[in-house]
Structure 1
Amino acid sequence: MEAIKRFFSFEGLSAKFCGAAFLALGAALLAFPKEVQEATLSSVIYCLTVLVPSLFPFMALTSFAVTSGAGIALSRVLGFLSRYVFRLPKVCTASLLMSFLGGYPAGARGVSLLWKQGSITREQAGRMMLFCVNPGIAFVVTFLGGTVLGSFSAGWLLFLSVTAAGILLGVFTGLFAKFPEEKFVPVPAVPGGAVIRSAVDACSGILKMSACVVLFSGFTAILHGSGLYQFFVKLLSGPGPFSQPEAAAALSFFIEVTGGVGDAAKFQVSPLFYAFGLAFAGLCVHLQVFSFFEEFPVSKCKFFLFRFLHGFLAAGIYSLLSRVFPSAVNTAVLSGSPVAISGGLSATVAGALSLLLLCSAFLLLLGRDCETRQTVIK
């Protein structure tokens, strides 16, 4: 009886929640093994064919810009944008560019490195994390526009909408901030060279992202198999303005952005859902962003609030741009099926798998050395 009373008390609530979640998820894995297996297999193929090839170069480039003199050299040319538009130090220029061009985790990785080096303050890092979470140009234009929607023009329109919304949020967060005091930031001496370090950072980041995508795909499969997903869809579509297909796409985007893309394509919902979902980024990306920091520099409630603001603002901008460029919307042909990777699959998977294995080899061979210098994400 005492054990039961202690379990239902408020002491150690976090541990109790984790224990209950462990039991529930363990039971769900035994109840829906086939669904979880199929979902994780599909997500692994997605990671190998889309995520790794498109994001790995940008992750490496972001780390290289921060750990070498490239970012400092770039700040001398474009640093005025960081200082006068976002009221951030000029050394943030490269990380800002990568956050808008390189994909969701590239910005977070750059911010965490700058903060760890002492190049920016906690307040500046926190402000950056309110708007430096954006989809990459390769994912939105090439994959979503060219493959899923069948229109590169539609992909460009979505990319411009989400990026413009992020820039506006960045300007807004800096309105009441003081102009930063520029200080000399020496380029850190990295044994082995900045190229190797950037490769190791990118390896660690891409492995972590892939693991999160696979994990969330399994979780989503459990939600489908248990009926909870269908329950929440009916709950969202009942009193609200959404139809059931729109509610399903919105819920998928809330959980994980690639799953949202697949469901939005399958249900052929309005492109506004793509704009909102890409800007919001999904819980899977949010957890990846948190993992780059030992201590997150801004309140997570504020972070989530700005994710929703980013989503609604991107949807509004897309609505305006679609009226200015209606041909880009009209030429978008929805696939009518979940996101599928086809055409040359074996070669693409083999190449990406080789890259993923090289990532693992880098971490195994250089992990201890990198941990000593605190370069690998923990």
Structure 2
Amino acid sequence: MTSQQSYQPWHLKYRPQNLSELVGQPLIVRTLTNELKTGNLPNVFLFDGPRGTGKTSTARIFAKSLNCLSSSQPTLTPCGTCLSCRSICSGSNLDVRELDAASNNGVDDIRELINYSKLSTTNRYRIIYLDECQMLSRSAQNAALKLFEDRLPNTIFILATTESEKLLDTIISRCQHFQFRRLSTQDITERLSQITLNEKISANPEALRLIAQHSQGGMRDSVQLLEQLAMSTNGKIEPHHVRDVIGSIPADSLVDLCVSIFQDTPQRLHNLMALSNQLNDEGVEPVHLVKELLAIHRDLLVFQLSQDTNSLKQGKVPFASLIDLSSIESLSQLVSIPEIHHRLLTLEAAALSIQQSSNPLIGLEICLLQLAYPCLGKE
């Protein structure tokens, strides 16, 4: 076997293999564990949550736990090496079927599933995993109701969605509904740290935090970014490497921009335009800059409302922006809570309008002027 054939991307290589390895979803792990122990299994699950939070991994773990040949009954620790476990991982198990509803979303597709579900099984359980189930047409969802109501013996349906509001209420009411939450920056950082140890690469803790923060709660995206950085840096990852790849804005530039917005000086207008043009020349997307300013104002509001700065310094309250606590503390001296609130509203509106603008740079400049001169937003 060549090295190319044996290569496995890290997000697959480090995918959790049993429920105990699932990160950041303790309630889901506890519930599924108890159901496996007692054998009280619902016939339809709904895995609901943002991408990269473990929905597909959980479905595969559950399928292996139900059908592992190394155990005479469902187990919490599937072996991963028996024929059933290996075929589930490779997607070749005849009794575990994964379908993408984006391309299998019609009534005929549901009818084909009905026929498939009636076939005899060679494993203990048949598992049908329907990803992006919100893409099913309304007619297909209605057709699926009959399938879910029949409660076929030893057949389990797992629906996965990022937009459960698009599903019929009658579908949701027939499911055991699990809400997968975005993973915390700490959870992701700890997992990335484990991977760097296994791969024998060096990574600055701040670099790992930046990767985790950039992924916005998605483990898969963060692991893919970590692998990309490991390849481009020869296994020595520093914060500036992460910023270069994700297009992150230097913290000192963000602080300078905020000072220019907050301080009423004769050079304010010149400084704002100069900083805006400088960041644009460096390739910073206008909407990205607005979102960073939004995060800074959120952190300023949290800091000023906090009665316990020690909790902030100990990291018990997470910060959303890229600048450090000392900078937030300094900036908070220049702006009041009502001013922060007003600017948050301005930034929220600007983030939406700039995304739709034919000239995002002008949209950014108008936003900065509104932040610096609040009178522009008054009638």
The structure with the larger Rg is 2
Do the structures match in fold with TM over 0.5?
no
User: Taking CA–CA contacts closer than 8 Å with sequence separation of 6 or more, which of the two structures ends up with the larger relative contact order?
Assistant: 1
Shorter-chain TM-score bucket reads: under 0.3
TM-score norm. by structure 1 comes to 0.23
TM-score norm. by structure 2 comes to 0.23
Which of the two has greater helix per residue?
1
